[in-house]
Structures are given as C-alpha cells and as structure tokens.
C-alpha cells in the first residue's frame, strides 16, 4: 500500500474575534497637538495687562519730590486707591467707589490721573474747575499733576495754559502695580504741572530731573508764529 503523503499547504486558521483594544504603542496614531508655550505666555501677559488697566501707581522717589515741592504732606489724592496710598501717603484720597470727579478737592493736592482714553480729559476739566475756586474756603491751595506728554491733546494744552510751572522730565517714570510687580508699563515720557504760589520751590525741586519752565499766566500774550515750509524758510526777527 502507498503511504499517504502530508499536504504541503497548512490548514487555514480559524478567525477568532477578540474584544481587546490594541495599545497606543502598537498602532500609529498622530500625537495630540500642543499649543506653543510662547502663545500661552502672550495670552497670559495680555490678561494681566487687562487686569492692571489704569492701576499704575506713583513710585516713592517721585512722591518724595512732590512733597518737597508742596512744602509738606499731601492733603488729598483725588484719583487713588488703598494700595497706591500706601506710598503716596495722602491724608485723604478718593477711589473708584468715591470718585474724585464728583467730590470737592482741597488743600495741597497731588494727582496721577488715569491715562486711558476717555478718563484724562474729565479729570483735567475737574482740576481746572477746582483751581478756579481756589480763593474760596476749603479749596485747593496747590496742585501737582503728573501726566503723559500728550502735547497734541486739548487737555494737555489746557493745563499748560493755566499752570504756574511745568517740568518736562528727562526720564521715564517706572510706575508700579499690584498685579504684576515685574512689569514696567510705561512707554511714554511725563509732564509734571504745578498750580500754586510757590513755583520757585517747584523749580528748585524738579530742575535736576528735567527742564522746568515757570509761567506768568497774568502776563501771557498770544504770539503768532509764521508758517514756513521748512526751517530754512523761517526768518526770525533780530533781537
């Protein structure tokens, strides 16, 4: 009898379904997309900037100069808060809940008004109105205002036309805040205006920090400057 030979083709395997899920290491799945760290940091900085807003406070060395120029302590800060007054040390201050725009100013006033759009002009208007009533009782006796160098704005022009002295600082002030102490939010130069009868003391105090001009508002006259296409075309009268 012939012996049966084994078939060279192996028998087919039976398919057995499985409920196991293959692990991530055995299958080629795309890795999850992660946002860049720089973008997250940028958003974090923007969020902090929005929280800070106008809450930029005067540093101690500037406050010391203000007190010296006033000849004593600051009576009132009409645009402040509890944190800012820990450095300013005013005898009284107005904050957002008790707006300095709606209350009278008095004594020796120092103000670092909010610099945001729509806030500076109302505070300057209030300052000038309060200074107009200085001859009355419980009115301001001196005012020092710290602002940006907004020479093109109506509020800046109004201040310089009525102040008794002004200092154009030759340094930028490093304002501080309580949200992000590492951040310096100042991109502009500042002007310090003085209203009062001690302009010479203001000059002596701030002249080491910038160019000081004393103004005699009672003797001010309007000067017309001829318009020229260039500086070479402008002919000035001989003195």
Digit-coded pLDDT (tens) for 113-153: 987 768 889 999 999 999 999 988 889 999 999 998 889 99
Residue 232: is its pLDDT beyond 50? no
For helices 60-70 and 199-206, angle between their N-to-C axes, nearest 10 degrees: 150
188-221, pLDDT tens digit by residue? 789 999 999 999 999 999 999 999 999 977 665 4
Per-residue model confidence (pLDDT) at position 104 = 95
Is 189 buried (19+), middle (13-18) or exposed (0-12) by CB count in 10 A? middle
- pTM of the entire predicted model: 0.69
Q: What does residue 176 show for φ and ψ, rounded to 5 degrees?
A: -125, 165
Q: Supply the mean pLDDT for the chain.
A: 77
Residue range 4-25, pLDDT digits in tens: 555 566 665 555 655 555 554 5
> In angstroms, rounded to a whole number, what is the distance separating the alpha carbons of residues 239 and 232?
18
Q: What is the pLDDT of residues 146-184, one digit of tens each?
A: 998 889 999 999 999 999 999 999 988 888 577 666 566
Q: Quickly count: other Cβ atoms within 10 Å of residue 100's Cβ.
A: 24
pLDDT at 193: 98
Helix (H) or strand (E) holding 200: helix 199-206
Domains in the chain (CATH in brackets) are: 50-216 (3.40.50)
């Amino acid at each position: 009898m012939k012996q049966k030979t084994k078939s060279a083709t192996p028998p087919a395997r039976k398919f057995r379904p499985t409920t196991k899920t293959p692990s991530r290491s055995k299958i080629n799945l795309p890795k999850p997309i992660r946002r860049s760290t720089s973008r997250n940091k940028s958003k974090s900085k923007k969020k902090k900037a929005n929280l800070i807003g106008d809450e930029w406070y005067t540093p101690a060395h500037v406050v010391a100069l203000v007190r010296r120029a006033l000849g004593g302590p600051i009576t009132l800060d009409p645009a402040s808060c509890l944190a800012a007054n820990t450095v300013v040390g005013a005898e009284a201050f107005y904050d957002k809940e008790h707006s300095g725009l709606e209350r009278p100013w008095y004594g020796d006033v120092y103000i670092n008004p909010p610099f945001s759009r729509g806030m500076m002009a109302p505070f300057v208007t209030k300052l000038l109105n309060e200074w107009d009533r200085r001859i009355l009782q419980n009115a301001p006796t001196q005012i020092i205002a710290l602002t940006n160098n907004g020479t093109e704005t109506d509020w800046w022009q109004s201040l310089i036309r009525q102040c008794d002295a002004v200092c154009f600082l030759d340094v930028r002030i490093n304002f501080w805040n309580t949200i992000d102490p590492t951040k310096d939010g100042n991109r502009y130069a500042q002007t310090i205006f003085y209203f009062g009868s001690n302009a010479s003391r203001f000059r002596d105090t701030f002249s080491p920090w910038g160019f000081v001009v004393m103004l005699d508002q009672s003797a001010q006259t309007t000067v017309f400057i001829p318009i020229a296409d260039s500086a070479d075309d402008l002919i000035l009268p001989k003195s």
